[in-house]
Structure 1
Amino acid sequence: MTASSFDTAPVAPAGRPPVRRGGRPFTLSPRTSFLLRRLGRMAVSLGIVVVATFAIIHLVPGDPVRAVLGPSAPAELVARTRSELGLDQPLLVQFWNYVVALVQGDLGTSLQTHRPVADTLAQRAPATLVLAGVSFVIAAVGALPIGLATAISVRSGRRRWLDLAASALVGLLIVVPNFLLAVGLVWLFAVQWHVLPVAGWGDPAQLVLPVLALAIGPMAYLARIVHVELLAVLDATYMTTARSKRLPSRLIYLRHALPNMLTSALTIGGLMLTGMVAGTVLIETIFAIPGLGTTIVSSITAKDYPMIQGVVLVYAAMVLALNLIVDLVLMSIDPRSSLAEG
């Protein structure tokens, strides 16, 4: 065999991507690459949540087995129960067993109810999702016309006193905590006027007060964002050009102004939605809603480690999934802002 026979095999130039059949380089589309980056970050974030939750709850003083069995339980029963649950093993061994079970879809068994944690979460999660979802829709639907109306009114320069009153009311609703607002709504509509139930879940009337308590503050905040962004858009050069063409005001606001402020409003709305999911803990506790919020409160009180870990993991997964959905929507509206990220 001669040396020239080794020179006949083609060699790909260095620094170029692999070539598929047909001569085209094998590259991922920008959308696919963006989605893979976001999924990778989501997986890393969930891993951090798992480690942090396990470490924090095991650093809390107290014996969960003694808390469940009671202070008068015999020492032999406490020791046997701790051994059955694996709580007598070193922390690293407990963490490894937890991660292995988690990968297999097993979230453990509740120390309180002796039921699988996954069953309890599947039963309680819909209430939290409905509460957060309906509250977000109400906040978004209410914020858009309020922000548009106040910005247009300020732009026209008429009824200055009404603009000041609306700004003061919006600012007040932003700073009032949702639990304090919930107490005020209960006192007004349930105690004084007797038109709505105080607490409960299942009847549409029982959904009104918790949704209002959770939605009013974010609605005011989002209305302020729409107000500010619309004023900035109305001062842009292309808006001056649109007005110079003597287009109807309806077309100027709906066709030119509203789409250009949609990206920032959606970004704030996504952050607001994740905050509302976390805010369901207090609202569910106040209105006795059988959701994830009341579940985690009772679990912390009873030191139910498996249930606490499961609820925190579900909350984290919900927030990260919502962030991913918002990113995908923003990428569809304005690909340059998302695809330019590394």
Structure 2
Amino acid sequence: MHRFAIRRAGRLLVSLWVVITAAFGMIHLIPGDPVRAALGPTAPAELVQARRAALGLDDPLWLQYLNYLHHLVTGEFGSSTLSGLPVAQVISDRLPATIELALASFVLAILISVPLGLAMAVATRNGRRRPAELAFTSASAVLAALPEFLVAVGLVYVFSVTLGWAPVAGRSGPDSYVLPVIALAIGPAAVLARIVRVETLAVLQADYIRTARAKRLPSRLIYLRHALPNALTATITLGGLILGGLIAGTVLVENVFAWPGLGSTIVSSILAKDYPVVQGIVLIYGIGVLLINLVVDIALALLDPRSTIRKS
């Protein structure tokens, strides 16, 4: 287990370095002058040059990279070229809204997918209820394939514009969470429900389930105590990946609902060529996904230490 933890920590550090380097390189490959974009097309050349020198943009690329790493180690993300505010402050102001939206969507997806997948597995085991199985697989495939922003636009049109049941945009109260959370949760819930059903069907064919039935244990104990925990290993793995995808997927949904999170901020920063803010947000997204994957690996190691450590 110690070797497993050391290997995972090493992979995390390497992946983190790749994310940091990619964020730095991506910004420098984007055409355009962020200083000119921030100061405006009519700004004097002397002012633009002085601002570039103050930000270190005239230094060689390798020196900018070393300075960038040094600032990250010391907790400095730089300052916005547009507002002049520290990037760390911009992120700290917007990060809670994104985390709330992603976690609420993930919880809703779990609450829908696990009971639904388990119920469909029980109902359709051994080839029973073929029409119900076909309807479930078809509907879940369609819902999983729908883009989040398309679902979001549809929800806004039906429940906000037409029916007036929910706010069109903003983060003004509990009711403003309903549509963004549903828009983000529908696709992951459909995917997870399919996985839970498939895994549960496999578990229901196991010998210990047959033994439990032979002992005439109540169905509630068979499905919830014996079948469900053993069917959740693949669900945990995919669920961690989906949570990372939900954090990144908030970008489009936040812009549809004018949600004051990192997603809407990064889009407006890209349009304004506010590259320090874009760098900081990309880095936060990358670190978030890496940490989620690490938590998933640890959870799987705790659930099944021998198989997880062998695969690592």
Structure 1 residue 220: deviation in Å? 0.6
Counterpart position of 2:158? 188
What CA distance in whole angstroms lies between the structure 1 residues aligned with 2:35 and 2:49?
9
- Give the secondary-structure state (helix, strand or coil) at the position aligned to 1:290: coil
| TM-score (structure 2 length as normaliser) | 0.96
Q: Provide the rounded CA distance (Å) in 2 between the counterparts of 1:289 and 1:336.
A: 44
Bigger CA drift: 56-65 or 109-118? 56-65
Aligned length: 312
Q: CA deviation at 1:36?
A: 2.8
Counterpart position of 2:112 = 142
Give the letter aligned to residue 71 of structure 1. P
> 2:309 maps to which residue?
339
Q: Which residue of 2 aligns with 1:25?
A: none
Which of residues 273, 279, 289 is equivalent to 2:243? 273
Residue 193 (structure 2) aligns with: 223
The residue number in structure 2 matching 1:210 is 180
Once the two structures are superposed, residues 193-234 of structure 1 have per-residue CA deviations (whole angstroms, 9 ceiling, x without a partner) of 111011101311000000000001100100000111111111
Correspondence for 2:103 among 133, 151, 157: 133
1:1-342 equivalent positions in 2, closer than 5 A: 30=1, 32-155=2-125, 159-342=129-312
The alpha carbon displacement at 1:166 in A equals 2.5
Aligned counterparts of 1:88 and 1:99: Cα–Cα separation in 2: 17
Give the CA deviation at 1:33.
3.2
Give, in whole Å, the separation in 1 of the partners of 2:198 and 2:123.
Answer: 12
- Alpha-carbon distance change, 160 to 338 in structure 1, aligned in 2, over 3 angstroms: closer
What is the alpha-carbon distance in structure 1 between the residues aligned to residue 201 and residue 16 of structure 2?
39
Partner of 1:18: none
Q: TM-score, normalised by structure 1?
A: 0.88
- The whole-number CA distance in structure 2 between the counterparts of 1:49 and 1:164 is 42
Task: Report how far residue 262 of structure 1 moved.
Answer: 1.6
Q: Which residue of 2 aligns with 1:26?
A: none
**Cα distance, 1:326–1:93 mapped onto 2, change above 3 Å:** same
Higher mean C-alpha displacement, 294-303 vs 160-169: 160-169
How far apart are 1:37 and its partner, in Å? 2.2
Aligned partner of 1:243: which letter?
R
CA distance in 1, matches of 2:292, 2:127: 39
The structure with the larger Rg is 1
Cα distance in 1, alignment partners of residues 274 and 30 from structure 2: 12
Partner SS for 1:66:
helix
**What is the CA distance between 1:184 and its match in structure 2?**
0.7
How far off its partner does 1:157 sit? 5.5
- Measure, in 2, the Cα distance between the counterparts of 1:160 and 1:61: 55
Structure that is richer in helix per residue: 2
Would the aligned equivalents of 2:184 and 2:253 in 1 still touch at CA under 8 Å?
Answer: yes
Aligned mates of 2:242, 2:190 — CA distance in 1: 11
Distance 2:281 2:307 in 1: 33
AA at the equivalent of 2:255: T
Compare relative contact order (CA 8 Å, sep 6+) and give the higher one, 1 or 2: 2
Distance 1:337 1:125 in 2: 36
Work out the percentage of aligned pairs sharing the same amino acid. Answer: 56
* Superposition CA RMSD, Å: 1.5
Structure 2 spans left out of the alignment, 5+ residues? none
Q: Distance in 1 between matches of 2:17 and 2:218?
A: 53
CA 1:337–1:157 in structure 2 vs 1: closer, same or farther (change >3 Å)?
closer
User: Does the residue aligned with 2:105 lie in a helix, a strand or coil?
Assistant: helix
Extract structure 1 runs of 4+ deviating beyond 3 A.
156-160
> Could you list the per-position Cα deviations for residues 3-58 of structure 1 after superposition, in whole angstroms to 9, with x for gaps in the alignment?
xxxxxxxxxxxxxxxxxxxxxxxxxxx2x433332222112111111111111211
1:242 shift after superposition: 2.2
- Confirm or deny: 8 A CA contact 2:105 2:181 kept in the other structure: yes
